[in-house]
Chain A
């Protein structure tokens, strides 16, 4: 998630209603494949799913690999972060 987030940054995330989810927000998500991940929301779909993307385009896991996520997997939205 460079350059927005760096390794070792601390973030504060709060539970976030799915209906408030918007493209561009940084969220914390539970992925069955990758564990707990922090990414940026790409698209929010009307069927209760959403897709994610990484800010570091050159090295991010692809959207295809991550697949779609459901509202149940949304752990929260990042409301604060601090870097070293």
Chain B
């Protein structure tokens, strides 16, 4: 009865709300989307390098090259964005205390991502993946989740950090 009465009052003159379970701003955080994006960048670089080996490019090859360059750009930016979101929204004082050089690592990832956009370079793409893997390892460590490394079962068949759940 009291609840019904309070509900009626609340409908007319709302009480302040307090949240006990956060649906927002809490999000599901997982660095794997950044890792997938970095893997994709390596793959696009490999496909671009295959095209580069051809003596002449047909019209179809040139169209394919345009698509690959566009997707490399998009996925390098995606890797940067996914890391930025976890760094900005998930990492708080306790996580920074545990890993005080996180800001430096994230900045390196930003630079590596830009490098991948600006160049068609396997080396730069591998560097991006390596840094994102390091970030992923750190992220899982903040949740006390052990990680393992395994070669992803699809091209470019590179080593990826996975949570050992």
Instruction: Give the B-binding residues of A (Cβ under 8 A).
Output: 1-2, 5, 7, 9-11, 13, 28, 33-39, 54, 56, 59-62, 64-65, 67, 82-84
Stretch with Cβ within 8 A of A (4 or more), from B49-57, B73-81, B90-98, B132-140: B90-98
User: Closest Cβ of chain B: how far from A6's Cβ, in Å?
Assistant: 9
Pairs across A and B, CB under 8 Å, 16 listed: A5-B20, A7-B21, A10-B7, A10-B10, A11-B18, A13-B18, A28-B18, A34-B19, A34-B25, A37-B20, A37-B22, A54-B21, A64-B92, A64-B142, A65-B94, A82-B2
| A-binding residues in B (CB < 8 A) | 2-3, 6-7, 10, 15-22, 25-26, 90, 92-95, 142-143
Q: How far is the CB of B30 from chain A (nearest CB, A)?
A: 15
Q: Please, how many angstroms separate the alpha-carbon atoms of A39 and B16 in the complex?
A: 16
When the two chains form the complex, which single residue of A1, A67, A82, A84 contacts B20, counting CB atoms closer than 8 Å? A1
Q: List 4 tightest A-B contacts by C-beta distance, closest first.
A: A1-B20, A38-B18, A10-B6, A64-B94
